[in-house]
Amino acid sequence: MFPPAPNPPVAPVAPKYGQQDLIRRSASTIAPPAQTQTPVAKLIDVSKCIGCKACQAACLEWNNLHEEIGTFNGTYTNPPDLTPASFTLMRFTEWTNPETQNLEWLIRKDGCMHCADPGCLKACPAPGAIVQYSNGIVDFDHDKCIGCGYCVKGCPFNIPRISQVDNKAYKCTLCSDRVAVGQWPACAKACPTQAIAFGTKDDMTKWADGRIKDLKSRGYANAGLYDPPGVGGTHVMYVLQHANTPEIYAGLPKNPTISPVVEIWKGMTKYVGFAAIGLAAAAGVLHHLVAGPNKVSKEDEENAEKLTGSDPR
């Protein structure tokens, strides 16, 4: 068993990281931090999940969220999708293994993956509304969020949700406030089977290796770790029984990357756009300097007077 989640300290603890530990800040250029925090990760072992939704409840409670009462839609997945109030969601998939003909109940805890190369942050136009700490946590600063939804377009995992109430984007914070004082995220703390574990990324990768060996010994030949390199790796990782086909876990993308459309929009378009506008303006100034103003001459006026039969001068 992995060491259990620590209990909260009795005495107040100073946060372990803050604004001085940012490695990326949306729509801003920042100096690299003096010290680098140890990268952290949350490991979600899908094979150990029993679908109790304690993580979902803990998330709502810790973040003081109030999900609307929905309607039953025929599955255990409830609410049916992530919302501004549901940062995490158990997605239930009934999957028949074609090799064994066994029904497998795949339960994936969906939520922000905390990409090392976050598409949301790249797309965000508001300075400082999305930040990335040197420990890997990607967090939204709601005071600076303008509600444009660009993060939704930037995200390769379809995670951020814009609130219709305050027009701000919401997603899992990896409980950055809890982690700052040495606590595990609320979901990990609440998980009764340690399907959710938390620690340094190295420790989590090592722990996952042991789990994968165990799963392989039990016949899950394709068991593996989901830490997609297309987004530079993630700080939320999955142990999957069938890591060769992540799509079967409610559409987990096989090789997520920031969409090339977003890369072009946020990259080349800006330079080409400003160059075009600048050239157009410069061409105008230059033309005026070379050609001079196009003035109506006295003859033009006289011709018009003649044409209209105005009184001769």
Partner 1 sequence: MSNEYDVESGDGVHKGRPVTVDRYTLSARINHWITAISLILLALSGMALFSPSLFFLTNLFGGGQWTRAIHPWIGVVLFFSFAGLFLRFWRANLWKAEDGTWLARIRDVLGGHEERLPEVGKYNAGQKFVFWGMSFLIIVLIGSGFVVWDQYFFAFTTIEQKRIAILVHALAAVAIICVWIIHVYAAIWVRGTIGAMTKGQVTGGWAWRHHRKWLRELVSKDKPGRTPAE
Interface positions with partner 1 (CB under 8 A): 27-28, 125-127, 144-150, 152-153, 158, 162, 164, 167, 259, 261-262, 264-265, 269-270, 272-274, 276-277, 280-281, 284, 287-288, 291-298, 300-305, 307-311, 313
Token pair 């303006």 in the structure block, residue: 281
Q: Three-state DSSP class for 181?
A: coil
Closer to partner 1 at the Cβ: 36 or 158?
Answer: 158
List the beta bridge partners of residue 237: 43
User: C-beta of 166: minimal distance to partner 1 in Å?
Assistant: 9
| Strands of 101-155, DSSP E | 103-110, 130-133, 138-140
Closer to partner 1 at the Cβ: 221 or 275?
Answer: 275
Single-letter code of the amino acid located at 145? C
Q: Are 95 and 248 in contact (CB under 8 A)?
A: yes
The residues, any chain, with a CB within 8 Å of residue 202's CB and separated by 6 or more, are: 39
Give the Cα separation of 220 and 312 in Å (integer).
103
Q: Are 188 and 198 in contact (CB under 8 A)?
A: yes
Closer to partner 1 at the Cβ: 126 or 208?
Answer: 126
Closer to partner 1 at the Cβ: 41 or 262?
Answer: 262
212-217 contacts at long range (C-beta below 8 A, 24 or more positions apart): 212/239, 215/47, 215/239, 215/241
Closer to partner 1 at the Cβ: 69 or 165?
Answer: 165
Closer to partner 1 at the Cβ: 66 or 298?
Answer: 298
User: C-beta of 2: minimal distance to partner 1 in Å?
Assistant: 36
Closer to partner 1 at the Cβ: 89 or 215?
Answer: 89
Single-letter code of the amino acid located at 147? G
User: C-beta of 134: minimal distance to partner 1 in Å?
Assistant: 21
User: C-beta of 294: minimal distance to partner 1 in Å?
Assistant: 5
Q: What is the DSSP string of 191-260?
A: -SS-SEEEEEHHHHHHHHHHHHHHHHHTT-TT-EEE--GGGT-BSEEEEETTTT-GGGTTS--SS----H
